[in-house]
Chain A
Amino acid sequence: DGGITQSPKYLFRKEGQNVTLSCEQNLNHDAMYWYRQDPGQGLRLIYYSQIVNDFQKGDIAEGYSVSREKKESFPLTVTSAQKNPTAFYLCASSIAITSYEQYFGPGTRLTVT
């Protein structure tokens, strides 16, 4: 089955620790995205990548970092510089950056205490 996987589903970390969220897709999509979702808020874009070895900051990139070394993978690191990291993180992909539809993974809920 083609799709997007995110792991783990739940993640707990202590304040001050960096943490990396995994996102893998086997849809052969060029574009990948990371969003953050907080209660009562719309999806906010953290980073996106149009192609391997290229990525762009979104609206709320501060305190986050990404890499795109393989077409299938787009991991997100939440650094200790992120002031309020507890949230639901969603990874998405599309055939290309110009595509209309984005397809989402199941999400990772990160709790930092």
Chain B
Amino acid sequence: EDQVTQSPEALRLQEGESSSLNCSYTVSGLRGLFWYRQDPGKGPEFLFTLYSAGEEKEKERLKATLTKKESFLHITAPKPEDSATYLCAVQASGGSYIPTFGRGTSLIVHP
């Protein structure tokens, strides 16, 4: 069974204090790993897809990296508007194409 574990569950940062969110996964074969941002009371917004170990993608203050067992979402010099829940999901190769989602990390950035 595919599993996705995100840590920490919640993270509080001061504005400008860089940190990383973790997404560890167990799948028989990885087809893709996805990061989403979700604001309170809204639907998730797609951020990145990573396909293979060693891959990195960046968007503004966010950088996503991927290894064979986990992905990190690095947040550099965060701002209060980066506050949100960040969701990770994996899509396994073979069988169903339905992604498995983690429970998310709730990030709060204080000014």
A residues adjacent to B (C-beta < 8 A): 4, 6, 33, 40-43, 45, 48, 58, 88, 90, 92, 97-107, 109
Residue of A at shortest CB range from B99? A102
Are A58 and B98 closer than 8 Å at their CB atoms? Answer: yes
- Contact between B103 and A106 (Cβ–Cβ < 8 Å)? no
Q: Is the interface of B mostly helix, strand, loop or mixed?
A: strand
**Can you name the residue of chain A whose Cβ is closest to the Cβ of B91?**
A100
Q: Are B46 and A101 in contact (CB under 8 A)?
A: yes
Q: How far is the CA of A45 from the CA of B98 in the complex (A)?
A: 9
- Asked if B49 contacts A43 (CB within 8 A), the reply is no
Which stretch in B14-22, B37-45, B60-68, B71-79 binds the other chain?
A: B37-45
Interface size class of B (residues with CB under 8 A): 20 to 34
User: Are the CB atoms of A105 and B43 closer together than 8 Å?
Assistant: yes
* Nearest CB on B from A26, distance (A): 16
A103 near B98: Cβ-Cβ < 8 Å: no
Residue numbers in B under 8 Å from A92 (CB-CB): 43
Partner of A90, one of B43, B46, B103, B104: B43
Tell yes or no: B34 within 8 A of A by CB: yes
Which residues of B come within 8 Å of A, CB atoms?
Answer: 4, 9, 31-32, 34, 36, 41-46, 49, 87, 89, 91, 97-104
**How far is B99's CA from A91's CA once the two chains are assembled, in angstroms?**
14
Contact of A43 with B42 at beta-carbon distance under 8 Å, contacts A100-B32, A101-B34 already known: no
In the complex, what's the smallest C-beta–C-beta distance from B1 to chain A, in angstroms?
11
Q: Are A40 and B103 in contact (CB under 8 A)?
A: yes
Pick from B87, B97, B101, B103: contact of A98, CB below 8 A.
B97
**Docked CA distance A92–B34 (Å):** 14
Q: B32 — which chain A residues lie within 8 A by C-beta?
A: 100
Q: How far is the CA of A98 from the CA of B46 in the complex (A)?
A: 16
Min Cβ gap A24→B in Å is: 14
Q: How far is the CB of A88 from chain B (nearest CB, A)?
A: 8
